[in-house]
Amino acid sequence: MIIKLFGCLIIMACSTSGGYLLAIGYTRRVRELRVFQQALQVLESEILFTSTPLPQAVLQIASRLDRPVDRLFGLFGHILEQRVGHTAGEAWNMAIDGTRDLLCLDREDIDIVRSFGQNLGSTDKENQEKSFRLVKYQLETQLRKAEDKRNKNEKLCKNLGFLLGAALVTLLV
């Protein structure tokens, strides 16, 4: 009897936490998108107003960001600083590939961020401003989508996890 009870508990715990983990993914995506927005805002003013060289600007920003986005910027700045012959676009791609597993962003978000990086540092201020405006707009849209998704799915996932566990337990008992 005790073993049965114990098994049920384990099943319930697993499915509930599984549901929570899924739900957390949605929340984290929203948070990461916000951090991205904040980072790009600072980077933009560093580029447009103080003309800070990219490696310095990026490393400075990386030290002020929340995890795990700081990892991406840190890696990016590090690659640039090493001067191993990569342009900013290449370094940006490498940094994204290197930190992608840490991020909760979906494919669409990553594509937007990736394509933004291709122009980074390779044009004059006017064009930099344009590409910042574009990426900020795109991220805003993604953020709204992500928030909708979170609101819809967060509770659902949590409840579904619990209920699935409960259903399994009833079936098995």
The one-character DSSP state at 63 is T
Interaction between residue 84 and other proteins (CB under 8 A): yes
Cβ-in-10-Å burial (0-12, 13-18, 19+) of 30 comes to buried
The one-character DSSP state at 66 is P
Contact 88, 117 (CB under 8 A): yes
Q: Which two tokens stand for residue 30?
A: 């929203």
Q: Kindly write out the interface string for residues 137-166 of this chain, putting x where it contacts other proteins by CB under 8 A and - elsewhere.
A: ------------------------------
- Residue closest to 117 by CA, chosen among 145, 92, 143, 80: 92
Interaction between residue 83 and other proteins (CB under 8 A): yes
Give the binding-site size for other proteins (rule: CB under 8 A): 21
Residues 85 to 114: which contact other proteins by CB under 8 A?
Answer: 85, 87-88, 91
Interaction between residue 51 and other proteins (CB under 8 A): yes
Residue closer to other proteins (CB basis): 117 or 165: 117
Give the footprint of other proteins on this chain (CB under 8 A).
Answer: 47-48, 51-55, 80, 83-85, 87-88, 91, 120-125, 128
